[in-house]
Structure 1
Amino acid sequence: MRRRVLAFASTLALLASPAFAAPTTLPPASLATAAQLREQALADDTGWKVVESLTTEVGPRVAGSEADARAVEWAKAKFKQLGFDKVWTEPVTFPKWERRSERAEVLGAHAQPLTITALGGSPGGTVEGEVVRFADLAALQAAPEGSLKGKIAFVDYQMTASRDGRDYGNGGAVRSKGPSEAIRKGAVGFVMRSAGTDSHRVPHTGITRFDEGLTPVPSAALSVPDANQLARLVARGSTRIRLALDCGWNGEYTSQNVIGEITGRTLPKEVVVIGGHLDSWDLGTGAIDDAAGVGITMAAGHLIGKLKQAPRRTIRVIAFANEEQGLHGGKAYANARAAAGEVALTQIAAESDFGAGRIYAFNTGSPNPADSREATRQIAEALKPLGIEYAPNDGGPGPDVSPLAAKGGAWAWLAQDGSDYFDLHHTADDTLDKIDPAALAQNVAAYTVFAWLAAEADGNFGSEAKDVTPPSE
């Protein structure tokens, strides 16, 4: 008899283990509500109004600026206005970089101005020298040591457009790694063809890094037409330019992650996280990067909050601080959750930070994804009327949720069409008029359906407090 009792107990323990856990599924009533939410969201203009408000009332909001502080106050007020029942902030401290002025010009027989913008993180200073052109980062890396002594490196890599923006890995690498490579070869300055896919005379900024032990040099991006012009001049013979930047690091600044919640009805400590980043670069008004993400996710939380019955779990919307200069808000949020032992309480997390193009694909992932595959498929089915496909082998966490995913948090991928995203990215052209209200509403509908169903699921999506390496988005 005792053997039978022990055997029965062992069987129960085995069935309770993760390998035998019941798969995560969605209640039929929740799926019906999701269909209603989807149609309501498509007809609702809250997302547009939020984006219009942020870009008009605050405008550019580079991290550490006076406008950064105004954006935090704006976000707190907007969450309250939209009916979130809990609103608070969490501090995010980082080095403060400032842009004051920038100028470049060709010297000598073909003297003319060049349209440039300083790369974030560049020091100030005025340098001049002969330009040496490189077709891509690999060519610069292959240059002999000392071959650029007293010269200015010019990396002329042309990004190509695609729906998923895949070539940004190459264009962004020129910006982040190119200046350090140029310094190693002896260069006194660095310029690059902007990491963009447009043909307008608007340069693209973005953060750069200098490897430890190197003395930083003035570093800037040329607009695409100016890169073409400089390449033609270099092809004609020796070309000198002067680069004059007034910019640089200026102490530390403490901004805030601004967080709003719709409290869950039965599992309030378990949270579905959605959000975008509140900061922007200073050239445009940060409409596609990332007022759109803030508007999309605030609107999704708002629509769920208007339901007569609250979601089963809490919907947490985050306006992240200083994504642009190093994911500072996302890292602070993840570290705080890990320190509090709350990573496993994350049902799932998703960030909208790739503009406002229509969402075309969906997937989820986690350290333990197998048991949530059915729920993911069901969410994908609910998203299908929006023109969104289930892509079970694709995707990854958005930028500011990637630090949480690296600590074991489950993530969702709602892939936006970025075919023209890098025409506008980090430029003066990133303004409200570039957003299609209908496409924005489709994004709001997708995030509303996803967040509602994830909050209502019977079971979880596999979050576990452990160090992992999530896939790139």
Structure 2
Amino acid sequence: MKFVSLLALPLLALAPIQQAAAEQFTTEQLQHTAQIRQHAQNSELSWQLVESLTTEVGPRLPGTENDKKAVAWAKAQFERLGFDKVWLEKAHFPHWRRYHESGHILTPSKQPLHLTALGNSVSTAKDGLTAPIVLFETLAELQAAPAGSLAGKIAYVNYRMNRDIDGNGYGPAVKARSSGAVVAAQKGAIGYMMRSVSTSHHRFAHTGGSHYKEGVSKIPNVAIANPDADQIARLIALGEQVTVHINIQTEDLGQGESYNVIGEITGHSKPDEYVLLASHLDSWDLGTGALDDGAGVAITMAAAKHVAAMKRPQRSIRVVLFAAEELGLWGAKDYVKAHSDELDHIVAAAESDFGADVVYAFESNVHAQSLPIVRAIAEQLKPLDVAYIGANSARGGPDLIPFERAQSSPIFALHQDGTDYFDYHHTADDTLDKIEPHKLKQNTAAYAVFAYMAADAKDKIQAK
């Protein structure tokens, strides 16, 4: 008797969950979900979109001619795909441009130095900057350096990012990129250099956003390829004084203007409530922005289209391709300001901005009363080998940070395998060949299932 009751416990525990899911979705709705999932897995649409964007437009640094072409491309694609509403919303950002970058180790022997200017960096003099470097293993070590100790020198932070499926090494590493130049200048340095925020062994430098601080001298700010970082570390370990020459030419062009491009599939009975599918249209200028974030653009656009092609949901699905994410989430910030009085109309928000490897887990950040809907969605993601994380503490992609701060939108994460993502992130190697079509289809199917079910649930998903 005891043996039988133990077997029955899991079924008894599941019964309330299954009952709650049945209250939210009919058998017909679940059949539509399965059809949407299969349709997305069989479709080439997401591949066609990312191929078109990266081939016909290429890199999309905010404010450039290619950025304008990308906006026109996105609007035309939404219209071609038959979205019910397509519109543009202005976004403003600090307009920065890169023109030239080069570098060499000069002593103890002349060697090429593969580097890139970090976003927002000021230029060196026209003939460059030559100075000895002082190595620090972490930003904290640089912060602890005595005031004035780096006068006439280049501060160099050699922090090594760890590799993990969820990219958890990015946060600690990116601190040196964001504020390293400020700390270095406060110590008297005339330039700042860092190991790329990267897990790669290839000789590509990784760019990314950086910032200055009012009242602190603005100094040139670069990242170097990991093999070059290792070379410098070996030379210093030998007791050598390493002197480098760097030459970067950039320009601050003041305030720039671009657009969030928005396409909407309008819900049939509750059109003012909507699922927000996010990605960002801009990219850095070194590669073609395939993984970051051409893939996300393609996934979100195609997912919404697949839903509309099979079954129009009760609520709307709004795809927002944000502008100027790379320079500081500017498009997302402007969207939140423009829609501040209606953010509670968002029933679910998720962003695809982590490459194109498979979605391996699904997580929510919603009010507890909406968890039955979340679990029902998770159940329909299982055929795609997507596991459910029940902690209910999801953090969305970067463009959802302003939404999270507003505390008015239910946030979701469809976690992608990021083991190799930071090998290519923000480099010249971020190109279309890094995307595997079958993995892109799996992503698209996962977003389509999520979007349809969140939009068609009986009850509105509630924010915490």
TM-score bracket relative to the smaller structure: over 0.9
What residue in structure 2 maps to residue 389 of structure 1? 387
Matched residues in 2 for 1:145 and 1:256: separation? 43
Mapping of residues 21-420 of structure 1, within 5 Å:
25-125=24-124, 126-236=128-238, 237-307=240-310, 309-338=311-340, 341-366=341-366, 369-393=367-391, 394-407=393-406, 408-420=408-420
4+ residue stretches of structure 1 with deviation over 4 A? none
Matched residues in 1 for 2:210 and 2:251: separation? 12
Query: Cα offset for 1:35?
Result: 0.9
What residue in structure 2 maps to residue 13 of structure 1? none
Query: Cα offset for 1:103?
Result: 1.2
What residue in structure 2 maps to residue 470 of structure 1? none
Is contact 1:79–1:87 with CA below 8 Å preserved after alignment?
A: yes
Is contact 2:358–2:439 with CA below 8 Å preserved after alignment?
A: yes
Is contact 2:94–2:327 with CA below 8 Å preserved after alignment?
A: no
Matched residues in 2 for 1:401 and 1:228: separation? 36
What residue in structure 2 maps to residue 469 of structure 1? none
Most deviating of 297-306 and 392-401: 392-401
Query: Cα offset for 1:198?
Result: 0.6
Quick one: which amino acid aligns to residue 79 of structure 1? F
Is contact 1:27–1:458 with CA below 8 Å preserved after alignment?
A: no
What residue in structure 1 maps to residue 4 of structure 2? none
What residue in structure 2 maps to residue 423 of structure 1? 423
Identity %: 48
Query: Cα offset for 1:109?
Result: 4.2
Question: Quick one: structure 1 residues 406 and 25, their matched pair in 2 at CA, closer, same or farther if it must change by over 3 Å?
Answer: farther
> How big is each residue's C-alpha offset from its partner over 1:430-469, in whole Å with a ceiling of 9 and x where there is no partner?
00000011110000000000000000011122148xxxxx
Quick one: which amino acid aligns to residue 347 of structure 2? Q
Quick one: which amino acid aligns to residue 422 of structure 1? F
Quick one: which amino acid aligns to residue 261 of structure 1? E
Aligned pair 1:461/2:461, yes or no?
Answer: yes
Quick one: which amino acid aligns to residue 300 of structure 1? A
Matched residues in 2 for 1:108 and 1:270: separation? 63
Is contact 2:62–2:323 with CA below 8 Å preserved after alignment?
A: yes
Query: Cα offset for 1:127?
Result: 2.1
Matched residues in 2 for 1:194 and 1:80: separation? 39
Is contact 2:108–2:243 with CA below 8 Å preserved after alignment?
A: no
Quick one: which amino acid aligns to residue 324 of structure 1? E
> How big is each residue's C-alpha offset from its partner over 1:202-242, in whole Å with a ceiling of 9 and x where there is no partner?
10000001122111100100001111111122223111111
Aligned pair 1:440/2:443, yes or no?
Answer: no
What residue in structure 2 maps to residue 14 of structure 1? none
Query: Cα offset for 1:178?
Result: 1.1
Matched residues in 2 for 1:299 and 1:102: separation? 37
Query: Cα offset for 1:26?
Result: 3.0
Give the TM-score, by structure 2 length.
0.92
Is contact 1:41–1:441 with CA below 8 Å preserved after alignment?
A: yes
Indicate the SS of the match to 2:339.
Answer: helix
Q: CA RMSD in A?
A: 1.3
Indicate the SS of the match to 1:107.
Answer: strand
Most deviating of 267-276 and 404-413: 404-413
> How big is each residue's C-alpha offset from its partner over 1:303-355, in whole Å with a ceiling of 9 and x where there is no partner?
11112x421001101111010010011111111110xx211111111110000
Quick one: which amino acid aligns to residue 46 of structure 2? G
> How big is each residue's C-alpha offset from its partner over 1:257-292, in whole Å with a ceiling of 9 and x where there is no partner?
000011100000111110210000000000000000
Matched residues in 1 for 2:108 and 2:234: separation? 14
In the alignment, structure 1 segments of 5+ residues that lack a partner are 1-21, 465-473
Give the TM-score, by structure 1 length.
0.91
Matched residues in 2 for 1:128 and 1:180: separation? 19
Indicate the SS of the match to 1:447.
Answer: helix
Quick one: which amino acid aligns to residue 443 of structure 2? N
Matched residues in 2 for 1:181 and 1:305: separation? 51
Query: Cα offset for 1:397?
Result: 1.4
Matched residues in 2 for 1:463 and 1:88: separation? 27
Matched residues in 1 for 2:108 and 2:172: separation? 34
In the alignment, structure 2 segments of 5+ residues that lack a partner are 1-19
Is contact 1:218–1:243 with CA below 8 Å preserved after alignment?
A: no
